[in-house]
Chain A
Amino acid sequence: MKLLAITLKDLRRSFRSLFSITFMFGVPLLVTALFWFIFGSFSGGEEEGFTLPPTTVQVVNLDEGQTPDTGESLGAVVVDLLQSEGFATLMAVTEAPDEAEARAAVGRGEAGVALVLPADFTASLTGPGMSTTVGLYTDPGLTIGTQVVAAVVRQLVDNLAARTISAEVTLAQLHEAGLEPDAALIDEVVRATQAETAPVLNVATPGAPEAEGEEDGGIGLFLAVIMGGMMVFYAFFTGASAMQTILVEDEEGTLPRLFTTPTPRAVIIAGKALAVVVTLVVQVTVLLLLGNLVFGIDWGEGLLVALAAAGLVMVAATTGLFLISFLKNRRQAGVLFGGVLTLTGMLGLVSVFTVGSPQAATMERVSLLVPQGWAIRAFQIAQGGATGGDLALTLGALLAWSLVFAVIGIVRLQRRFA
């Protein structure tokens, strides 16, 4: 009964504190809402998902040749294609008078890419044994937008080159096999190489249905990563902040007075610890529910999410206990919140920022140096991002962190209040 009274008193203090409420709910929801707003509203709605802004492209068409059969310039064909509706969401294409002007526009940051189609573009694609180079000059400050343009141009150029290669190789092989190419055969080969080709790749998001050439929006996945990261980051703030009542009561003199009562010290500390756990359970539950209801985040299978949440609550509470056991007064808490928790929190979060990068595996290992990294991993597993075997390892690691922190924290506090 006394334990509950202490718990309720601490809970009242926690939920009346603007500081606690801000860090428990305000900031995680605010940051997620900001990204939801940015990617949801500005990209044309959640249905359209994660879309990149179009990259500005200046094209210089120097092509002087014409195809022998239709008399068209393949350079002009490429420019028309790039300016067509199909590519409007990826790039905004304008023509520039010369190469120097287009490159200078990129240099000044007015264009993301300058594309230069050479004078012998058509000739190289229609004449035997010729070759040329298409220049793509990019803004070094951009990465993804320019890669998208490069991918599209490369695709167009490869498609044109494929026809030439196909025709040349076919005729050469037939000739080698003893078939002398006549006009009819050449015509047939050329027509065959110009036929529609099958898609070379189906592109899909993991866990989503495949779609030819289309990608899943992915905004839900992105928000889950962001909000999951924020939830873990601020749960540790909550654990430490709520556990701070030990310091507060010690400074205010109420804790020593409590210790003079018949209530055992273990009950007093347990009551405070229970308040921290309840506070964390409320925080994590509310954030998970709001994430799902407001932002439509699918956190994963219920049981796995519950296990991940339990692991987070456990490790955040014991981390708070551990850290507070090293502090003498509330002034030092500033270092704790601003320094230790920010540093370890961002270390734990670093894997969130590097998903899919070459360093992803290394950064994931770095993030596992701190308990926040393991907690984030637990939620990623719940969302189906790892194998079942990883779950036991991750929960085991969270338990191990918690045990170590709890033992050290309790021993230090016992010595302190002995």
Chain B
Amino acid sequence: MRRVLAIILKDLLQMVRDWKTAFFLLIMPIVFTLMFGFAFQGAAGSEGSALPVAYYAADDGLVGRALLAELAESPLLELEEVADAAAVEEGVAGGAYAAGIVVPPAAAGERMTPTLYLLPGSSGGLAARVEIDSAARRVSSAVETAERATALYAERQPSDAEINQQQFFDETLSAAQAAWDSPPVELAVAPVGSTGQEAEVDESGYGHASPAMMAQFAIGGLLGAAGILVTERKSRALHRLLTTTMSRAELLLGHFLAMFVIILVQILLLMGFGQLILKLPYFAEPVASLLLAGATAFFAAALGLLIGTMARTEEQVIIFSLLPMFVLAALGGAWFPLELMPAGYQRIAMWTPLARVVEGYKDILIRGLGIDAVITAVLILLGYAALCLAIAVMRFRAEAR
């Protein structure tokens, strides 16, 4: 055991002394958590993070004016009038606006329908659409009400009527618009937590970004950690160690545990950062959080050992670390939440390790779930770790022979 400890301490010392370790393990995930968290902040549209919407009306028609007035009152939308219809399309395509509205010129005797531009799959666009659709429906309903009522009034208008049809139309339109301020049925939307009681929704964006970047950079951190084995091999220190009484198992165990410790510390520090700075409830369910952290570190360390036994050069360490980092992060929903992906893929993704880490932490942080929610994730991560360890051991044995 003393030998294993010596290897662990040597590796840890080597990693801690290298400033790159802190850079990859802590600085980069923190920077990207802040960046991605900010980027996804209020993506669903919320007060205080209004969605930018471009607006263009071809003329000063009734529907255009009513729609503009209705939309301007929405706290979820930040309306910006632009010069022409092309500017609306370009702005939406370029990502400057979550959505864009073009109100065509009103043709005599025809009801014109505004066009809503948005990018497929854009969460902001969808949120804006809900709000715009509702406003357009209310305006349309009010206009239709005024038109129908005026038609009836025209049919049955008393000969001594004091008000003309235009006045009747205007008053009915105002009354119909006012009626929408207190409709007979309203929809109340509220998020619920693990107990079924109302919960707070994560509008900060960090509830996804923090675990996502933590998972991604647990693998990114292997860049330095896995390189130690390669350095040992290149400097022949590994071969010299193999001539001593130290067993191969002890050697591998030492390297594996060193990586496990460093990644576990990385995750714990990032969880601490999330808890203290980002105000994410990582320790609301401490057992679940720690269990998932341990399993994540175990998997990452096993992958690191595999990379260390496979790579022959520093360049290969980079390829073998960055490739799984990018691929597993993309597949695991670290960049785009899994809920945006097709249902069939979601089922497959839940068998990939990083998806389990991200979703497991989201269960704890956002849904308020506990240990039951992360058990499957822990088992899957341990399964992957076992697979990586088995291959690493086989490769190391072959090499040692």
Do they bind each other? yes
CB atoms of B184 and A203 under 8 A apart: no
Instruction: Tell yes or no: A261 within 8 A of B by CB.
Output: no
A111 smallest CB distance to B (angstroms): 10
Instruction: Tell yes or no: B396 within 8 A of A by CB.
Output: no
Additional A-B contacts beyond A169-B149, A351-B95 (18; CB < 8 A): A19-B316, A38-B345, A53-B339, A109-B369, A140-B192, A144-B340, A151-B130, A157-B185, A157-B186, A158-B134, A160-B185, A161-B185, A162-B145, A188-B152, A338-B318, A357-B42, A357-B124, A358-B50
Q: A173-B168, A185-B152 are in contact. Are A136 and B95 (CB under 8 A)?
A: no
CB atoms of A363 and B124 under 8 A apart: no
Question: Top 3 closest A-B pairs, CB basis?
Answer: A218-B120, A356-B122, A53-B343
- Report the separation of the CA atoms of residues A27 and B191 in the bound assembly, to the nearest whole angstrom: 39
Instruction: Tell yes or no: B327 within 8 A of A by CB.
Output: yes
Interface residues of A in 1-32 (CB under 8 A from B): 18-19, 22-23, 27, 30-31
Collect the chain B residues with CB atoms within 8 Å of residue A161's CB: 183-185
CB atoms of A136 and B90 under 8 A apart: no
Chain A, residues 317-355, CB within 8 Å of chain B (1/0): the string is 000000000000011011101110011001100110111
Interface on chain A toward B: helix, strand, loop, or mixed SS?
Answer: helix
CB atoms of A138 and B192 under 8 A apart: yes
- Report the separation of the CA atoms of residues A192 and B149 in the bound assembly, to the nearest whole angstrom: 9
Q: A109-B363, A198-B140, A330-B314 are in contact. Are A143 and B130 (CB under 8 A)?
A: no
CB atoms of A331 and B45 under 8 A apart: no
- Report the separation of the CA atoms of residues A134 and B321 in the bound assembly, to the nearest whole angstrom: 50
Chain A, residues 374-407, CB within 8 Å of chain B (1/0): the string is 0000001001111100000000000000000000
Collect the chain B residues with CB atoms within 8 Å of residue A335's CB: 20, 23
Q: Could you say which of A174-182, A271-279, A283-291, A306-314 contacts chain B?
A: A174-182
28 example contacts (A-B, Cβ-Cβ < 8 A) are as follows A18-B319, A34-B330, A109-B363, A124-B185, A131-B182, A131-B186, A151-B129, A161-B183, A162-B138, A165-B176, A165-B184, A168-B179, A174-B156, A179-B158, A192-B148, A193-B148, A198-B144, A200-B137, A221-B119, A334-B20, A334-B317, A335-B20, A356-B99, A356-B122, A358-B51, A358-B52, A361-B52, A385-B95
- Report the separation of the CA atoms of residues A173 and B177 in the bound assembly, to the nearest whole angstrom: 13
- Report the separation of the CA atoms of residues A206 and B149 in the bound assembly, to the nearest whole angstrom: 37
CB atoms of B141 and A204 under 8 A apart: no
Collect the chain B residues with CB atoms within 8 Å of residue A39's CB: 341-342
Instruction: Tell yes or no: B163 within 8 A of A by CB.
Output: yes
B residues engaging A (CB < 8 A)? 20, 23-24, 28, 31-32, 35-36, 38-45, 49-52, 78, 88-90, 92-100, 111, 113-127, 129-130, 132-134, 136-141, 144-145, 148-149, 152-153, 156, 158, 161-163, 168, 171-172, 175-176, 179-180, 182-202, 207, 220, 223, 227, 314-319, 321-323, 326-327, 330-331, 335-337, 339-346, 362-363, 366-369, 373
Q: A155-B137, A215-B120 are in contact. Are A140 and B193 (CB under 8 A)?
A: yes
CB atoms of A137 and B192 under 8 A apart: yes
Collect the chain A residues with CB atoms within 8 Å of residue B52's CB: 358, 360-361
CB atoms of B196 and A104 under 8 A apart: yes
CB atoms of B331 and A34 under 8 A apart: yes
CB atoms of A357 and B90 under 8 A apart: no
Collect the chain B residues with CB atoms within 8 Å of residue A338's CB: 20, 24, 220, 223, 318, 321-322
Chain A, residues 193-219, CB within 8 Å of chain B (1/0): the string is 100011111111111001010011111
Name the one of B39, B152, B345, B368 contacting A170, with C-beta atoms under 8 angstroms: B152
Instruction: Tell yes or no: A373 within 8 A of B by CB.
Output: no
CB atoms of A353 and B39 under 8 A apart: yes
Q: A165-B184, A177-B163, A385-B95 are in contact. Are A139 and B342 (CB under 8 A)?
A: no
Name the one of B97, B130, B138, B342 contacting A53, with C-beta atoms under 8 angstroms: B342
CB atoms of A49 and B120 under 8 A apart: yes
Number of A-B contacts (CB under 8 A): 402
Instruction: Tell yes or no: A67 within 8 A of B by CB.
Output: no
CB atoms of B32 and A221 under 8 A apart: no
Q: Which of A54, A197, A331, A342 has the most CB of B within 10 A?
A: A342
Collect the chain A residues with CB atoms within 8 Å of residue B316's CB: 19
CB atoms of A140 and B200 under 8 A apart: yes
A258 smallest CB distance to B (angstroms): 23
Q: Which of A38, A160, A362 has the most CB of B within 10 A?
A: A38
CB atoms of B152 and A174 under 8 A apart: yes
Collect the chain B residues with CB atoms within 8 Å of residue A35's CB: 330
Instruction: Tell yes or no: A79 within 8 A of B by CB.
Output: no
Collect the chain A residues with CB atoms within 8 Å of residue B126's CB: 144, 147-148, 151
Collect the chain B residues with CB atoms within 8 Å of residue A360's CB: 52, 95-98, 124
Collect the chain A residues with CB atoms within 8 Å of residue B94's CB: 380, 385-386
Closest to B339 in A: A142
CB atoms of A355 and B95 under 8 A apart: yes
CB atoms of A137 and B343 under 8 A apart: no
Name the one of A107, A164, A170 contacting B192, with C-beta atoms under 8 angstroms: A107
- Report the separation of the CA atoms of residues A242 and B309 in the bound assembly, to the nearest whole angstrom: 27
- Report the separation of the CA atoms of residues A339 and B140 in the bound assembly, to the nearest whole angstrom: 55
Closest to A112 in B: B339
- Report the separation of the CA atoms of residues A7 and B361 in the bound assembly, to the nearest whole angstrom: 51
- Report the separation of the CA atoms of residues A41 and B176 in the bound assembly, to the nearest whole angstrom: 47
Name the one of A42, A147, A358 contacting B343, with C-beta atoms under 8 angstroms: A42
Q: A27-B326, A151-B130, A206-B89 are in contact. Are A356 and B119 (CB under 8 A)?
A: yes
- Report the separation of the CA atoms of residues A361 and B53 in the bound assembly, to the nearest whole angstrom: 12
- Report the separation of the CA atoms of residues A143 and B44 in the bound assembly, to the nearest whole angstrom: 6
Collect the chain B residues with CB atoms within 8 Å of residue A43's CB: 342
CB atoms of A169 and B145 under 8 A apart: yes
Collect the chain B residues with CB atoms within 8 Å of residue A202's CB: 113-116
Closest to B217 in A: A342
CB atoms of A356 and B95 under 8 A apart: yes
Collect the chain A residues with CB atoms within 8 Å of residue B196's CB: 100, 103-104, 106-107, 137
Instruction: Tell yes or no: A411 within 8 A of B by CB.
Output: no
- Report the separation of the CA atoms of residues A332 and B152 in the bound assembly, to the nearest whole angstrom: 83
Name the one of B44, B51, B117, B192 contacting A106, with C-beta atoms under 8 angstroms: B192
Instruction: Tell yes or no: A114 within 8 A of B by CB.
Output: yes
Q: A42-B341, A161-B184 are in contact. Are A140 and B145 (CB under 8 A)?
A: no
B382 smallest CB distance to A (angstroms): 22
CB atoms of A356 and B118 under 8 A apart: yes
- Report the separation of the CA atoms of residues A357 and B20 in the bound assembly, to the nearest whole angstrom: 33
Q: A162-B137, A165-B141 are in contact. Are A342 and B187 (CB under 8 A)?
A: no
Collect the chain A residues with CB atoms within 8 Å of residue B95's CB: 351, 354-356, 360-361, 364, 385
- Report the separation of the CA atoms of residues A132 and B344 in the bound assembly, to the nearest whole angstrom: 38
A248 smallest CB distance to B (angstroms): 11
Instruction: Tell yes or no: A130 within 8 A of B by CB.
Output: yes
CB atoms of B93 and A206 under 8 A apart: yes
- Report the separation of the CA atoms of residues A158 and B336 in the bound assembly, to the nearest whole angstrom: 32
Collect the chain B residues with CB atoms within 8 Å of residue A334's CB: 20, 223, 227, 314, 317-318
Collect the chain B residues with CB atoms within 8 Å of residue A201's CB: 113-116, 132-133, 136
